[in-house]
Amino acid sequence: MEIKDELAEIYKKYKAKENETIYEHTKNLLSKLEELKEIVAIEDIDLIAEACIFHDFAKVNPLFQRRLEAGKKLDENEEIGHNILSFYMAKNYLEQYSKEDRNIILYAILNHHNYVDNFETVDKKQDLISANLKSISTEVFKDDEINFFKNIGLRELAVIRKLRMNPSKRSILVKGFLHKCDYAASAHSKIDMPNIHLESRLEKLKEDFVSKGVSDGWNKMQRFARDNKDSNIILIGSTGLGKTEASLLWIGNNKGFYVLPLKTAINAMYRRIRNTLYKDDYTENLGLLHGELENIYLEDESQGTLSSETEESMKFWEYYGLTRAMSLPVTITTPDQVFRFAFKYCSYELQLATYSYSKMVIDEIQAYSPDILATLIYSLQLIDMVGGKFAITTATLPPFIKDLLQEDIDKKIEYKEDIFLNNKIRHRVSLRHSAINIDDIKDFIEDKYHQESMKLLVVVNTVTKAQSIYREIKSWLDENDIEIEMNLLHSKFTVQHRSEKEDAILKDGESKCKKRVIWISTQVVEASLDIDFDYLFTELSDLSSLLQRLGRCNRKGLKSVDEFNSYVYLDIDENLLIKHSDKNAYASSGIIYKSLYELSKAALLEWESENNTGLFSEADKNRLIENYFTKKKIEEYDKMYSSIFTEYLSEYKRMYKHLVDIIPDSKNAKEVIKEFRNIISRRVIPQSIYEDKQENIIEIIDEIEEKRKLIGRTKSTAEKQKLRVDILRLKNEFRKFTLNISLRELDKDKDYCVVDNEKIIISTRVYNKEYGIIKEKEGSGSIFL
């Protein structure tokens, strides 16, 4: 992959960037493509190379060169973007290719930038395009006879235009790999890093398990994943069988992404894999990717993994950069980071190109709302189309998800599937045909609190309900001089207080821990915390969520089930069900789909009628999901309640259609992030904390401002990087005082403080460390978090 001599001589004379010639930049792109070729097999590599060679061709434009020298911005009335001009110019050098191949290359060149609507500019600024190209012919090539403008006719332009609305696998990948090479070359960073250690380290881990008597090697589920790593798989396995190891065995020595729904779960998984497999070289092998990853990396720094010295700061930014660029061999991440390409933002093809040679693990896919599920399903269909592989791993998988996976696509997705159930019975369940009853909990405590271990977990559907139950039981314990430790956990605590509470519940939730303690919580314990309690009292939301909650009780299956250890209350507040009037389920009081709730209730009632003992096996759980969460049944129940309540599948279909209909390049990355995350909350600092920590906060703000000024004064890149790490650390210190609350909870709060140009609202809502944010008036309409 070389730049032809004639072209090379031209490229050496002109700059692509302030300190880099077009030749140097283009050679860098080609070297990045060579690097990538050593790691993965790439189709159409010759087309990608040509796109790399000609993508910045038109930067020879005298207008561009003079503007670059003067440090000015592009004047749209005088100059056409180099990507559009390169589109016209490159065709002269691509005559050896077929029309299809040439058009794919030209499409990638034209759209490698989207500062404007490129096709609209081509339509409306023909005269200016012609004038710019004429200037290049005359001043650069010294030849008035060259007419680049005539290269692209209307018919050819129409064919190329169709690639935007109906992209082929080849056009996606050529453009995606051009972006990947261009970004890596511009950042002077590694384009990707080979995964060469995972299989051998997993084998060593297995040997360690065997030597310690933990296991006799990989179990059937793990062998199934390992033996089918060249296929898409759906793996259903009971809690405790080792789905994490199975997932890693399936990834093998390939680029892998491990997708989990909650940041807490992601952070825990990252630390677990890092400490188990990559303790000494994790910065070269394992990444953590979510909206606040720098905070986790900085925590590692504070623990001595990184230091604040200049050299170590550079290492921090290198690790951070490789993570953000998705260049590390294995990345643990949230869906909004890896599936945002489904919104077809400008340069979305880069992510798809990366996933074309990657393995994607989706854990607990049933935990997502219908709009996020639609995004995941659409994304997996595209990943399969470009050649990537996915694994869906879960304890229970509703059949309707497999149906949705095959809908609206030309070619059915092939996958291998198997179910692995643990024979241990972990739960004896008592169904209560009422709303959750505090008197029941009190009676239970009185009966059990003399035991050596009475670790009781109470899970409810709203923050307000959790606070109310906590308050009443705590008051009752005090009145009756019953000495039992009691704690409250939900999403409405500051970062610092929630972190402290999560550490405490993890400690209490260790299987070996025996004590008398009560934790009242919301769904934050469902999939995010690896805890093992003795007893569970819970409200019903839907069956998948209930099974997650049950997984926090007798998690290892080592405790007796001679008596009931789980109490499930079937009746919930009607206000929690999502109604038609709710324009956005996440912004309203409605949080549960009526059809899923009623299906769950019906499934549990059937199980109860068949089982008088209350023993709830893994097979029972799987059977109820299989029988009740079919597409046909959900459609039936959606229709039954459609006059009042929002239909689950209609919400899914609405989002899926929205994604299909998005015009590529019509959104920017920031718009996509906001839409995907359904951002309807703001980071705030409670007034009581602001007043208590005001001196400290002002000191943090002032220090950040001073370091920002120092960045502007210093010329040393290393010193700038060190200062930026210091600023991140200071912002992280401030962040501990904050929490996210919904927009409707802001009331009329107007006071704010500014931290590094970010406006942080000072919330007047009552807050304390014990209860978190407290509503002034109790009600049933609390948001479910």
Q: Which two tokens stand for residue 369?
A: 């709302």
Could you read off the pLDDT of 167-213 as tens digits, one per residue? 999 999 999 999 999 999 999 999 999 999 999 999 999 999 898 88
Residues 563-593 as b/e (b if ≥16 CB within 10 A, e otherwise) read: ebbbbbbbebbeebbbbeebeebbebbbbbb
Q: Residue 481: pLDDT above 50?
A: yes
CATH topology of domain 5-187: Hypothetical protein af1432 (1.10.3210)
Q: Residue 589 above 90 pLDDT?
A: no
Mean pLDDT of 67-92: 95
Average pLDDT (52-76) is 96
Q: Helix, strand or coil for residue 669? A: helix
Residue 779 has pLDDT above 70, yes or no: no
Please calculate the CA angle 204-209-214 and round it to the nearest 5 degrees. Answer: 175
Specify the pLDDT at position 581: 63
What's the average model confidence in pLDDT over 25-38?
97
**CA–CA dist 95, 102 (Å, integer):** 8
Find where tokens 């390049």 sit: 665
What pLDDT, on the 0 to 100 scale, is given for residue 493? 97
Phi-psi sector, 19: left (phi>0), alpha (psi -120 to 50), beta: alpha
List, in order, residues 6 or more apart from 696 with CB less than 8 Å away. none
Query: What is the per-residue pLDDT for 307?
Result: 46
- Residue 529 is predicted with a pLDDT of 78
The residues facing 391 across adjacent strands are 233, 361
Model confidence at 678, pLDDT cuts 50, 70, 90, reads low
Q: What are the distances in angstroms from CA 328 to CA 182, 258, 348, 358?
A: 18, 12, 19, 11
Nearest to 239 by CA among 558, 578, 462: 558
Question: What mean pLDDT is predicted for residues 660-678?
Answer: 84
Q: Which of 392, 444, 409, 438 is nearest to 563 (CA)?
A: 444
- 109-119 pLDDT tens trace: 999 999 999 99
pLDDT(785) > 80? no
pLDDT value, residue 747: 79
Give residue 314's pLDDT. 79
For 34-58, what is the mean pLDDT?
97
Write out the H or E segment, with its range, that includes residue 360: strand 358-363
- Identical fold at 5-187 and 198-420? no
Q: How confident is the model at residue 365 (pLDDT cuts 50, 70, 90)?
A: very high
Q: Indicate the pLDDT class of residue 239, thresholds 50, 70 and 90.
A: confident
Query: Full-prediction pTM beyond 0.85?
Result: yes
Enclosing H/E stretch for 286? strand 286-289
What share of the chain in percent tops pLDDT 70? 95
Q: What would the pLDDT profile of 604-621 be if each residue is shown by its tens digit?
A: 999 999 988 999 999 999
DSSP at 269: H
How would you label 49-67 residue by residue, b for 16+ Cβ within 10 Å and e otherwise? bbbbbbbbbbbbbebbbeb
pLDDT, average across residues 424-453: 96
Residues 6 or more apart whose CB falls under 8 angstroms from that of 47 comprise: 97, 101, 104, 105, 170, 174
- Residue 299 confidence (pLDDT): 74
pLDDT band, very low/low/confident/very high, at 679 (cuts 50, 70, 90):
low
Span 322-340, mean pLDDT?
Answer: 94
Q: Which amino acid is at 737?
A: F
pLDDT at 586 over 50: no
The confidence band for 305, taking pLDDT boundaries of 50, 70 and 90, is very low
Domain 198-420 matching CATH 3.40.50.300: the answer reads: yes
Quote the CA–CA distance of 36 and 325 in Å, as a whole number.
14
Could you tell me if residue 440 is left (phi over 0), alpha (psi between -120 and 50 degrees) or otherwise beta? Answer: alpha
| Tokens found for residue 621 | 């759980």
Q: What are phi and psi of 551, to 5 degrees?
A: -65, -10
Give me the residue spans of the domains in the chain.
Answer: 5-187, 198-420, 678-774
- Give the pLDDT of residue 528: 63
Q: Tokens for 124, please give them.
A: 């409306």
Comparing C-alpha atoms, which of 44, 179, 32 is closest to residue 104? 44
Asked which of 303-307, 418-422, 656-660 is least confident by mean pLDDT, the reply is: 303-307
